[in-house]
């Protein structure tokens, strides 16, 4: 016996509801996977949550006379490495490029790959702090017993000195933490 008109409508509504629920579930799974890279990109573009932006080129205009202190903090999580800044702090001119050096030693007996994360405190200053060269942009593999020096080239944009939220800051802290790189596949 063929389905009645009421049965056909109910079957059609159930099919639409099923496809809609399946589509929503797939969208939620996709959003969950996309959340971390999208958040990271958002933070890098805006300086949100203390995330330092990546600069493409060094400034070409004259720097300001205004100076501030940039302090460096280094940490290691779950790696047999020692990690330190070769200078505890630097006096920098706003708008002028600066370079800081860091040293990492692999104290184990095997090659290990790690990646550094970073942030800047106070967080509101991060949108004006740009790095044009940094070891934190890539995985770093260090051989057993090896010590490597890494440069960080950075500058503070001039707008830092005129922004009501940042102009009174005299000190910034750039902090790095090395973590093991997750094994692929």
pLDDT digits (tens, 9 = 90+) for 91-105: 999 999 999 999 999
Q: Are the C-beta atoms of 136 and 120 separated by less than 8 Å?
A: no
Is this structure's pTM higher than 0.75? Answer: no
Segment 67-116, tens digit of pLDDT? 999 999 999 999 999 999 999 999 999 999 999 999 999 999 999 999 99
Segment 52-64, tens digit of pLDDT? 555 565 565 666 7
What are the backbone angles phi and psi of residue 110, rounded to the nearest 5°?
-145, 155
Rounded to whole angstroms, the Cα distance separating 134 from 158 reads: 21
Q: Are the C-beta atoms of 156 and 120 separated by less than 8 Å?
A: no
Rounded to whole angstroms, the Cα distance separating 70 from 156 reads: 10
């Amino acid at each position: 016996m063929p389905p009645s008109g009421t049965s056909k409508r109910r079957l059609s509504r159930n099919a639409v509801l099923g496809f809609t629920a399946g589509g929503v579930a797939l969208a939620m799974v996709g959003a969950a996977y996309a959340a971390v890279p999208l958040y990271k990109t958002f933070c890098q573009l805006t300086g949100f949550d203390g995330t330092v932006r990546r600069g493409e080129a060094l400034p070409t205009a004259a720097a300001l006379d205004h100076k501030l202190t940039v302090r460096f903090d280094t940490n290691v999580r779950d790696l047999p490495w020692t990690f330190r800044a070769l200078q505890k702090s630097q006096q920098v001119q706003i708008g002028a490029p600066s370079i800081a050096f860091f040293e990492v030693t692999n104290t184990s007996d095997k090659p290990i790959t790690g990646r550094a994360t970073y942030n800047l405190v106070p967080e509101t200053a991060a949108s004006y702090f740009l790095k044009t060269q940094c070891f934190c942009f890539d995985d770093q593999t260090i051989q057993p017993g090896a010590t490597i020096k890494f440069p960080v080239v950075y500058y503070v944009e001039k707008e830092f000195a005129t922004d009501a939220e940042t102009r009174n800051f005299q000190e910034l802290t750039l902090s790095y933490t090395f973590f093991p790189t997750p094994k692929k596949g």
